[in-house]
Amino acid sequence: MKNIGLIAILRWLVLIVCIFFWHKAQAQIQPKPIINASIQGQIIDANTKVGIPGVTVRLEAVTHSVRTDDQGHFSFITGQTLPAILHISSLGYESLQTTFNQGDFEILLKPELSNLEEVVVVGYGSQRRADIIGAVASVPKLVLNQSLSSFDQALKGAVAGVQVTQTSGQPGGGVSIRVRGGASIQGGNEPLYVIDGFPLYSEAQGTGVNAGASINPLAAFDMGEVEQIEILKDAAATAIYGSRGANGVILVTTKKGRAGPTQINYSNRFGQQQIARKIPLLNASEFALLRNEALFDSNPALGPFQYLSQEAIGDLGEGTNWQNEAFRKAGIQQQQLSLGGSSERIQYYLSGNYFLQDGILRNTDFDRLGMRANISVQATERLKIETNLAIQRTKSTIAPGGIINALLLMPPTATIYEQDGSYTLRNPFENIFSNPIASLLETINKTASTNIFGTSYAQYRLLKGLHAKVLFGLDAKSQNDSYYTPSSIYEGASNNGNAALGSRSYYSWLNENTLTYDVNWRNHHVDVLLGFTQQEARNEYFNAGAQNFVTDELTVHSLQSGSTLIRPNSDAYDWVLHSYLSRINYNYDNRYYLSASVRRDGSSRFGPNNKFGIFPSIALSWRASNESFFQQYLPGINDLKFRTSYGRTGNLEIGQYQSLATLNTLNYLIGGNILTGFTPQRLGNPTLGWETTTQYDLGFDIAFAKNKVQFSFDTYYKRTTDLLLNVEIPWTSGFSSALQNFGTVSNRGYEFQLRINPLSGSLQWTSDLNFSVNRNRVLALGNESESYIIGNYIVQVGQPLGTFYGAKTDGVLQLGEEQSQGVFTGNAEPAAGDRRYVDSNNDGLFNVASDRTIIGNAQPDFTIGFSNSLRYRNFELSFLLYASVGNEVINENNQNLEMFSGQQNASAAALDRWTPQNPSNEIPRAKLDPAPVFSDRYVEDASFLRLRSVELQYRFPVSVNRLLHIKQLSVQLSAQNLWTWTNYSGFDPEVTSGSNVQPGRDAGIYPIAKSFHAGVAITF
Partner 1 sequence: MVSLSPFNYLNMIYSRYLISFIISIGMLSCSKLTEQPDALLISEQFYRNGEEATAAVTANYSKLYESGQSLYNSLLQIGIEMATDDYEAGPRARNAHVRAISGLTHDASNDRMEELWRQSYDAIYAANNGVEKIEAIEATAISEELRQRLIAELKFLRALHYFNLVRFFGDVPLLLNTNSSLEAQALRVSKSPEAEVYTQIIADLTAAQSLPSQEAFGLANAGRATSGAARALLAKVYLTQRNYTAAAAKALEVINSREYRLFDHFSEVFEVAHKNTVEHIFSAQFQGNAGYQGNSLAGRSAPTDIPGINGDYADALHLEGGLYESFEAADTRRDVTFVSALVSPVNGQLYQLSRPQFHKYYDESVIGNPYQSSKNLPIIRYAEVLLIYAEALNEQLSGPSAAAYEALNQVRSRAGISSLNPGHNQLVFRELVLEERRKELVFEYQRWFDLVRQGPEYYMEKLHAAGKTLAAPRHIHFPTPQRELNINPNLQQHPDWINN
Cis-peptide into 83, omega within 30 deg: yes
CB of 725 to partner 1, least distance (A): 12
> Which 351-410 positions form the footprint of partner 1 (CB under 8 A)?
379-383
Whole-angstrom distance, CA of residue 127 vs CA of residue 115: 12
Local structure of residue 822 (DSSP, 8 states): G
CB of 428 to partner 1, least distance (A): 9
CB of 604 to partner 1, least distance (A): 5
State which residue, 458 or 780, has the beta carbon closest to partner 1: 458
* Per CB under 8 A, 466 contacts partner 1: no
CB 349 within 8 A of CB 372: yes
CB of 601 to partner 1, least distance (A): 10
The site for partner 1, by CB under 8 A, has a size of 90
Query: 364-386: buried (b, 16+ CB within 10 Å) or exposed (e) per residue?
Result: bbbbbbbbbebbbebeeeeebeb
Nearest to 99 by CA among 112, 111, 79, 81: 81
State which residue, 208 or 684, has the beta carbon closest to partner 1: 684
Binds partner 1 (CB under 8 A): choice among 81, 609, 667, 841:
667
Tell me which stretch binds partner 1 (CB under 8 A): 357-365, 621-629, 880-888, 925-933.
925-933
Whole-angstrom distance, CA of residue 102 vs CA of residue 228: 40
Query: 457: part of which helix (H) or strand (E)?
Result: strand 444-463
> Which 595-624 positions form the footprint of partner 1 (CB under 8 A)?
602-605, 608, 611
441 burial (CB, 10 Å; 0-12 / 13-18 / 19+) is middle
* Per CB under 8 A, 430 contacts partner 1: yes
Binding string, 822-861, against partner 1, x = CB under 8 A? ------x------------------xxxx-----------
CB of 878 to partner 1, least distance (A): 41
User: Cα-flanking dihedrals φ and ψ of residue 157, to 5°?
Assistant: 75, 5
* Per CB under 8 A, 656 contacts partner 1: yes
Binds partner 1 (CB under 8 A): choice among 679, 819, 820, 842:
679
CB of 425 to partner 1, least distance (A): 9
Tell me which stretch binds partner 1 (CB under 8 A): 21-29, 365-373, 665-673, 990-998.
665-673
CB of 880 to partner 1, least distance (A): 43
842 burial (CB, 10 Å; 0-12 / 13-18 / 19+) is exposed
CB of 470 to partner 1, least distance (A): 5
Q: Which amino acid is at 870?
A: L
Q: Pairing relation of β-strands 226-232 and 249-254?
A: antiparallel
CB of 842 to partner 1, least distance (A): 14
Nearest to 986 by CA among 926, 897, 865: 897
State which residue, 432 or 763, has the beta carbon closest to partner 1: 432
Binds partner 1 (CB under 8 A): choice among 8, 77, 119, 470:
470
> Which 754-793 positions form the footprint of partner 1 (CB under 8 A)?
783-785, 788
User: Cα-flanking dihedrals φ and ψ of residue 473, to 5°?
Assistant: -140, 155
- CA separation, residue 647 to residues 11, 237, 246 (Å): 39, 9, 10
CB 259 within 8 A of CB 67: yes
> Which 436-465 positions form the footprint of partner 1 (CB under 8 A)?
458, 460
> Which 707-736 positions form the footprint of partner 1 (CB under 8 A)?
727-736
State which residue, 103 or 734, has the beta carbon closest to partner 1: 734
Binds partner 1 (CB under 8 A): choice among 154, 289, 738, 807:
738
> Which 116-155 positions form the footprint of partner 1 (CB under 8 A)?
none
* Per CB under 8 A, 676 contacts partner 1: yes
Tell me which stretch binds partner 1 (CB under 8 A): 658-666, 873-881, 885-893, 1004-1012.
658-666
* Per CB under 8 A, 663 contacts partner 1: yes
State which residue, 99 or 799, has the beta carbon closest to partner 1: 799
Whole-angstrom distance, CA of residue 364 vs CA of residue 442: 11
Query: 533: part of which helix (H) or strand (E)?
Result: strand 524-549
State which residue, 629 or 731, has the beta carbon closest to partner 1: 731
* Per CB under 8 A, 916 contacts partner 1: no
CB of 66 to partner 1, least distance (A): 16
CB of 602 to partner 1, least distance (A): 5
Local structure of residue 892 (DSSP, 8 states): H
State which residue, 478 or 610, has the beta carbon closest to partner 1: 610
Q: E strands of 604-634, at which residues? A: 612-623
CB 352 within 8 A of CB 204: no
Radius of gyration of the chain from its Cα atoms, rounded to whole angstroms: 32
> Which 329-358 positions form the footprint of partner 1 (CB under 8 A)?
344
> Which 488-507 positions form the footprint of partner 1 (CB under 8 A)?
493-495
Binds partner 1 (CB under 8 A): choice among 578, 600, 748, 775:
578
Whole-angstrom distance, CA of residue 1005 vs CA of residue 992: 8
Whole-angstrom distance, CA of residue 348 vs CA of residue 617: 36
- Cα dihedral sign, 858-653-882-1005: positive
Local structure of residue 783 (DSSP, 8 states): G
CB of 789 to partner 1, least distance (A): 8
State which residue, 541 or 944, has the beta carbon closest to partner 1: 541
Binds partner 1 (CB under 8 A): choice among 513, 555, 626, 694:
513
Query: 138: part of which helix (H) or strand (E)?
Result: strand 136-138
* Per CB under 8 A, 550 contacts partner 1: no
- Residue 854, beta-bridge partner list: 805
Binds partner 1 (CB under 8 A): choice among 36, 274, 558, 664:
664
State which residue, 87 or 578, has the beta carbon closest to partner 1: 578
Whole-angstrom distance, CA of residue 264 vs CA of residue 247: 38
- Residue 744, beta-bridge partner list: 780
660 burial (CB, 10 Å; 0-12 / 13-18 / 19+) is middle
Whole-angstrom distance, CA of residue 9 vs CA of residue 2: 11
* Per CB under 8 A, 87 contacts partner 1: no
State which residue, 85 or 666, has the beta carbon closest to partner 1: 666
